[in-house]
Amino acid sequence: TNKPKAKGTAFETMCARWLTDRLGQRVERRSLHGTKDEGDLGWIVTPHGHAGIVECKAGAQAEAAQPAKVAEWRRQTLAERENSCAGFALLAIKTAGVGAKTLGRTRCDVTLADLCRLLLLEPSEASESVWVTIDLETACWCVTEGPDDL
């Protein structure tokens, strides 16, 4: 078997289950779409009807999270957001020492523009190229509760 692929599949499955429980909606692993990948997990739907995807990265490269590799994954996440016509995309990067019980502490990168959309704020054009790093629990809060609690 392919160990990196198995690690990726396990992380995707763990994230899908956690997000399903945390968000109260079915979040499924997505099948590959040839050269037009549409993200690993979908759909995540906000109470305001915005639908998004999650790209998951696991393994030694994810846990080391070198800037050049993260930049490549961010570009990939944006392409997958576009391919899937999603309103937002999250990049979940496996964090060393984080497992099923602490998955909310997983690193989650999102563009500032997508974060604004989740919070029902108007993003600037410049915010499309700015990335922020939060944790998966905070991203879920933004998806489910953020706009109503501001």
pLDDT in tens, 52-62: 999 999 999 99
Instruction: Please report, rounded to a whole number, the percentage of residues in the chain having pLDDT higher than 70.
Output: 94
The confidence score (pLDDT) of residue 69 equals 97
β-bridge mates for residue 135, sequence order: 107
The confidence score (pLDDT) of residue 129 equals 95
DSSP assignment string, the chain = --HHHHHHHHHHHHHHHHHHHHHTS--EEPPP-TTS---SEEEEE-TTS-EEEEEEE-SHHHHH--HHHHHHHHHHHHHHHHHTT-SEEEEEEPPTT--GGGGGGSEEEEEHHHHHHHTT----GGGGG-EEEEEHHHHHHHHHTHHHH-
Averaged pLDDT score across all residues of the chain = 92
pLDDT in tens, 14-68: 999 999 999 999 999 987 666 788 999 999 999 888 999 999 999 999 999 999 9
Read off the pLDDT of each residue in 109-130 and give the average, rounded to a whole number: 94
